[in-house]
Amino acid sequence: MHALALLARVGSLGAAIWAGFHLPTLLLGALAFLLFVDFQKRRHPKNYPPGPWSLPFFGNFFQMDFKRAHLSCQKFMKQYGNLFRMDLGYVPCVIVSGLPLIKEALAHKDQTIVNRPMTPLREHMFSKNGLIMSSGQVWKEQRRFALTTLRNFGLGKKNLEERIQEEARCLCEAIEEEKGQPFNPHFKITNAVSNVICSITFGERFAYQDAQFQELLRLLDEVTYLEGQKFCQLYNVIPWIMKFLPGPHQTLFRGWEKLKLFVSHSIGKHKEDWDPDKPRDFIDAYLKEMTKCAGNTTSSFHEENLVCSTLDLFFAGTETTATTLRWALLYMAIHPEIQEKVQAEIDRVIGRLQKPSIGKRDHMPYTNAVIHEVLRMGNILPLNVPREVTFDTTLAGYHLPKGTIVLTNLTALHRGPMDWATPDTFNPEHFLENGQFRKRDDFLPFSIGKRACLGEQLARSELFIFFTSFLQKFTFKAPANEKLTQKYKMGLTLAPASYRLCAVPRG
Ligand code: HEM
Ligand SMILES: *[C@@H]1O[C@H](CO)[C@@H](O)[C@H](O)[C@H]1NC(C)=O
Ligand SMILES: *[C@@H]1O[C@H](CO)[C@@H](O)[C@H](O)[C@H]1NC(C)=O
């Protein structure tokens, strides 16, 4: 009797426990477990920079406005100061502002904050290869090789200057064909700019009518835009789900794939008539480096890196400079009085017939100041290119562990109300003093330190020669009854929204 009652009790206890494990409870338990794991994963080490509260799984992802990413964290900057954290999913990320701290992060700490973050998006498309987003040994070898090879093929030499002058002449001819009617200069500019880096990497330039090349430039533009979009960035937070979903990220992958195919195709053609003793361009030189390293399994000079490094040069050498020139024309059309002053200086120093050359830059402080102001206002890489902490380090007294992403807010630097007379208005006087060009320390569009832009010199030469060639030949105006604005389109770069203008030949 007693035993039986006990048995019944145990039985009902079992039933009670079983009843307790009904579905909602199970789910709740699982959720609590996940949240606990999530909490552990999102915990920051001691003395980590402060920042806003963050969501489970997504971190501060939804507090970032990807359409206005460069402006989106103003309130946090006000609240937490020049160093605060923003987690993107489980990826710890800090945002650095203010000249002293930015200099410290980019230049003084360029031994410890020198990697690039490997995001799932990048990993999917480039693995760990290439130049822009690689890290460690691969980056060191690829960067060193690219720098020497670019120098050998003309960086800073007379023949490259002639190449740019010739391309500027072709571009001006193409613009002239518009006969002063409204047109969108976008792809003509991109094509001309791209031809300069293409002649170094692929050993050839492409005609503005080449439909296949125009399609590649369109793809380059599309991937630049798409990769900055929220939907694509969501891939970085939850790749295991996004992988199976259709959407813009799949378009992005296809775009990069086609661009890689173009590069591999060109490499194939190079191999057919390759002469190791007569390297014609970057690809030829790379093929030679590969034979030197053949059989060395630790070397990064292999076919896959050849494709990725070449594509990186093609991409970085095209989008940035072309976008800056599009800003330049837009600002000139919006500010006719500034355009006139540039033209007067060109007429005085170069004249109407002579080709603009770099040597003239030092005698043209106004034009030089205008180009700098275009870089400041255009602000095409508003949060720089992300870096990643390579070894545990400190910044402003805070602890930054290995793997933390560091974004430097160049917008804050270039638009600081205390440092610039008219921070949000185009004004070349920012770079002038008594009519002379004024160099400024708080101006870092190409960044600084070991990881700074590898093409700064090339970009500066291109900007000067293209820009002066344009204004030597044309006056840029808004089409009748159309208003030009500074509206922008945010992708990997901050680009002007599509616009039309008239290029009126100068009488
Ligand atoms: C107006 C034009 C340009 C601007 C504003 C610009 C700006 C930048 C910036 C801010 C970075 C990141 C630096 C850092 O992390 O500290 C960068 C990297 C880079 N740029 Fe440029 N750039 C321009 C033109 C070019 C050109 C013409 C080339 C062509 C060779 C180029 C090639 C690169 C490469 C390869 C990197 C990656 C360097 C590395 O990670 O080691 N850029 N650029
Ligand atoms: C960068 O600085 C600008 C200008 O001060 C500010 O509006 C913006 O919110 C900052 N962006 C980020 C991501 O901190
Ligand atoms: C192989 O490549 C690595 C990395 O580039 C280099 O350090 C090493 O010296 C090379 N070994 C030989 C035998 O060339």
Helices 303-334 and 365-378 cross at an angle (nearest 10°) of 110
Q: What is the DSSP string of 36-59?
A: HHHHHHHPPPTTPPP----BTTTB
Domain assignment present for residue 31? The answer is no
Ligand closest to the CA atom of residue 493: 1
Q: Which stretches in the chain have pLDDT values below 50?
A: 1
Between the CA of 147 and the centroid of ligand 3 the distance, in Å, is: 19
Per-residue confidence (pLDDT) for residue 2, from 0 to 100: 58
Domain assignment present for residue 98? The answer is yes
* Residue 466 belongs to domain spanning: 61-488
Q: Which of 67, 73, 94, 418 to mutate to test the pocket of ligand 2 (most atoms within 8 A of CB)?
A: 73
Ligand closest to the CA atom of residue 93: 2
Structure tokens at 330: 């837009």
What is the number of domains present in the chain?
1
Per-residue confidence (pLDDT) for residue 52, from 0 to 100: 82
Ligand closest to the CA atom of residue 137: 3
CB 477 within 8 A of CB 333: yes
Q: Residue 432's beta-bridge partner residues?
A: 437
320-376 per-position pLDDT tens digit: 999 999 999 999 999 999 999 999 999 999 999 999 999 999 999 999 999 999 999
Per-residue confidence (pLDDT) for residue 224, from 0 to 100: 92
Q: Which of 190, 453, 464 to mutate to test the pocket of ligand 1 (most atoms within 8 A of CB)?
A: 453
- CA distance linking residue 381 with residue 118, whole number of Å: 19
φ, ψ at 59 (rounded to 5°): 60, -135
CB 490 within 8 A of CB 66: yes
Domain assignment present for residue 154? The answer is yes
Structure tokens at 177: 């064909």
Closest atom of ligand 1 relative to the 381 alpha carbon:
10
Domain assignment present for residue 24? The answer is no
Q: Of the candidates 323, 318, 121, which has an alpha carbon nearest to the alpha carbon of residue 216?
A: 318
Q: Decide whether any atom of ligand 2 lies within 6 Å of the 64 Cβ.
A: no
Between the CA of 136 and the centroid of ligand 3 the distance, in Å, is: 15
CATH of the domain at 394: 1.10.630.10
CB 444 within 8 A of CB 410: yes
Domain assignment present for residue 48? The answer is no
Between the CA of 446 and the centroid of ligand 1 the distance, in Å, is: 6
257-305 per-position pLDDT tens digit: 999 999 999 999 999 999 999 999 999 999 999 999 888 889 999 999 9
Ligand closest to the CA atom of residue 386: 1
Rounded to two decimals, what is the model's pTM? 0.91
The binding-site residues of ligand 3, defined as CB within 6 angstroms of any ligand atom, are 141, 296, 298-299
CB 78 within 8 A of CB 105: no
- CA distance linking residue 124 with residue 223, whole number of Å: 14
Closest atom of ligand 1 relative to the 106 alpha carbon:
16
Per-residue confidence (pLDDT) for residue 91, from 0 to 100: 80
Domain assignment present for residue 496? The answer is no
Per-residue confidence (pLDDT) for residue 31, from 0 to 100: 82
Domain assignment present for residue 85? The answer is yes
